Amino acid sequence: MTSENRGNCLAWAARDKSGFLSPYTFNRRAVGKDDVSLKITHCGICYADVAFSREKLGKAIYPLVPGHEIVGTVQEVGSEVQRFKVGDHVGVGAYVNSCRDCEYCNDELEIHCSNGAVSTINGLDVDGTMTKGGYSSFIVVHKRYCYKIPEGYPLSLAAPLLCAGITVYTPMIRHKMNQPGKSLGVVGLGGLGHLAVKFGKAFGLNVTVFSTSMSKKEEAVELLGADHFVVSSDDEQMKALEKSLDFIIDTASGDHPFDPYMSILKTAGTLVLVGAPSEIKLNPLNLLLGMKTLTGSATGGTKQTQEMLDFCGAHKIYPEVEVIPIQYANEALERLINKDVKYRFVIDIENSLG
């Protein structure tokens, strides 16, 4: 039987590494005793959607359905599911399974599962099929990898939190950058960067935004509430900040120098990389002198993801989004590649896929 014509789930999928998306129908697996089935209302667009569909992260199994910033409404639960009920607003992020038995899973850091977390896109699902993401009408996931969206939180705004939000929240918590009065630098003001600024202000930090474009200044300061704005290519502005910041979140995926940012860190300061440039180059003395740290981080575990969602609900932290229909997805992906979005695309699945 071909799922193209007789599947139970509507979607948009890439058929080859061009990444071009078009309508597709396939079968989702049946709901197991520990599963939650959710009708997808919205799905955020992440650069991972480009990377997976165009084979920038290894071999893709086509047709490939992107999307791992998924929110919606519970439509069915398995017999062993007690935390969720039909009608609940829930979310699904970058992974949908893990071994649930290693030291990292036991610490609810499932993204670091010793046996490999199963990606929401192009991973191996429990029924032996490839996982298919949120550019689709519904999804079935194990209850452990499903999150409650806070009551009253708009679903269109919740979607980016499931990847962009948790990606910047996790390293801030790990490095105790939730203590008022500390100083935070944010490199890049895209989908991740603008949320780092919002979290920083909610934590009571002094926030400095670094951008290559002066045109971002008004948005950074007026819209997002950053305390300072610096054009990173201006040597004088950069030099004036030497040894002034506790922590820098670097969200930039384009190649860029690291030494100028390392010089801005205080003694024992940390730069965490959440973007993905093609290489990292720096003078080793910029690590050795001043006990500085360069580290990386990718999304977060289930416990912290739920904490982050609850924090956003309590502090009314809302991503800045552009809501689009699924029919605009190909144009949106091209605009994302060209950095032409403020600050996250969210697909209105409920009202456009059908």
| Tens of pLDDT, residues 50-71 | 999 999 988 999 999 999 999 9
User: Has residue 7 got a pLDDT over 90?
Assistant: no
Confirm if 149 and 281 have CB atoms less than 8 A apart: no
User: What confidence tier does 6 reach under pLDDT thresholds 50, 70, 90?
Assistant: low
∠ CA 109-119-340, nearest 5°, is 105
Beta-bridge partner residues of 273: 250, 296
* pLDDT number for residue 63: 97
* pLDDT number for residue 2: 34
CA distance 32 to 152: 29
Residues 6+ away with beta carbon under 8 Å from 333: 19, 21, 45, 49, 50
Residues 6+ away with beta carbon under 8 Å from 288: none
DSSP E strand stretches across 126-217:
138-142, 146-148, 183-187, 206-211
The proportion of the chain whose per-residue pLDDT surpasses 90, expressed as a percent, equals 93
Question: Which pTM value belongs to this model?
Answer: 0.94
User: Has residue 271 got a pLDDT over 80?
Assistant: yes
User: What confidence tier does 339 reach under pLDDT thresholds 50, 70, 90?
Assistant: confident
